[in-house]
Every structure is written in structure tokens, then in C-alpha cells.
Amino acid sequence: MPARTVLVVDDEPTIRDTVADALALDGHRVLSAATGPEALSTFREEHPDLVILDLMLPELSGIEVCRILRAESSVPIIMLTARDSEIDKVVGLEVGADDYVTKPFSLRELSARVRAVFRRLDQPRAVSPAGDPDQVDLGRTQVDLRGHRLLTDGQPSPLKPRAFQLLAFFVRNPGQVFTRDQLLQEVWGTDYPGETRTVDVHVRMLRTAIETDPANPVLLETVRGVGYVFRLPRG
């Protein structure tokens, strides 16, 4: 695996330095920042391949930093949080984090998450099978499979990369019910160590983007006790 540049953002020097040392031992080039503004400045200057971002930061919160980074880049973001609150994890994922690790964490676990992210980046994007449509019309929205984008009323609509990959998978497999574990395996990869809650968060993103009434979905439905199914519009 080629050496990558990782930006570690944490206001606790011990954690920041320990994580940086561990990643350097794994062969990565490591940058560090202690505040939100410093993180943004370093990111814009160095363009790292991955950001490890603490939730609780002085001056500018990790959530806000994540939101700004996601507006500027699709760089993978792993969020660190000392909180064990479900809402913090969900908010982090909704503003664009790809994964989260709850403090205290083992360096081995964090290294495994980092390797999983880079392994997915190294995988070539699968070529669409013959006969795949260039664009799938969902009514108000269109899924541009080859352009890897979502259109709303003909205009590009922002959607984080992982959410689009999930949408593309559903569009290519309409009418099939998938469990959360199956979706994690198909979209995030067999080595993804995250939780099935990640799927629920991304499904909520998709419903907000493609459903007329996200609270009463007709395209991306929940199959109670099983998982999710995607249904193409009728007519």
C-alpha cells in the first residue's frame, strides 16, 4: 500500500502525538493540528488523503470543521469522540464523516480503520455492467450513474460519495431486499469495521435527497425486521 498523508486533529497533545506516532510507524506521512482553524489551514495547504478529526475542538468544533471540509472535498474523515452519545455519532455521519471511533480507543483499532479506508480508495471503481443505463429517472431527481452524481430538476445536487455509492447499488438492484449487514459488505467493503447504524444514517440522507416526503418514503422503503428495498417509480 503506498504511503498516504494523514491529518490528525486533536487538542489533546498526548492523544495527537500518540496517534501521529502510530500512523508514522505504519508508513504514513502525518500532519497535525490542535484547533479547527489550524486544521482547515493545514488541509488547504497540504491536501491530505485522510483526516482524523476530534469532535471537541477549541475555537471551531469538529462538527463544523467536518461540514466545511465536506463542502470543499470528498476526503475521507474519521471522527474521534469522547462521548458515548448516539446523537453525536449520527450528527458526525450526517455532516459528512465516513466513520467514527469512540474514546478511549486502541491504536490497533484506529490503524485498522485507517487501513480499511485506504484499501477502499485503492480499489478500482467497478465498471458498470453492459446495459446499465447512463441515467435513471426517479421523477424529480435523476441518478447519473456514469457521471457519479445526483441531479435534482436537472441540476447537480450535493451528496456525499458514500451515500451516492449506496444509491447506485440500490438503483442497480431494484426490488431486492438487503439487510444492513449485506449493504455494509457491498458498499463499504468486507473489511469495514463500522456498525450497521452507519447504513441507517446514509439511508436517511438518501431519503432526504430523493423522496418527495422523506417521512413517508415510496422509493427507498424499510422492510421491518430485515433491512431496505429500493423500488423504481411506476410508469
Distance between CA atoms of residues 6 and 83, nearest Å = 23
In a domain, 153, yes or no: yes
How many helices (DSSP H) and strands (DSSP E) are in the chain? Answer: 8, 12
Instruction: Check whether 124 has a pLDDT greater than 70.
Output: no
Instruction: Check whether 218 has a pLDDT greater than 60.
Output: yes
Instruction: Check whether 114 has a pLDDT greater than 50.
Output: yes
- Mean pLDDT over 42-60 rounds to 92
Number of domains in the chain: 2
The dihedrals phi and psi of 183, each to the nearest 5 degrees, come to: -65, -40
233 prior amide bond cis, ω within 30: no
Are 62 and 143 contained in the same domain?
no
Strand partners, 180: none
User: 23-47 pLDDT, tens per residue?
Assistant: 999 999 999 999 999 999 999 999 9
Are 109 and 140 contained in the same domain?
no
Domain boundary pick from 67, 95, 122 = 122
Domain region containing 200: 135-230
Give the pLDDT of residue 189: 72
Are 66 and 23 contained in the same domain?
yes
- C-alpha distance from residue 64 to each of 2, 32, 48, 196 (Å): 30, 18, 18, 25
- Mean pLDDT over 201-212 rounds to 92
Put simply, whether the predicted model's pTM sits higher than 0.95 gets the answer no
User: 89-104 pLDDT, tens per residue?
Assistant: 666 677 778 788 888 8
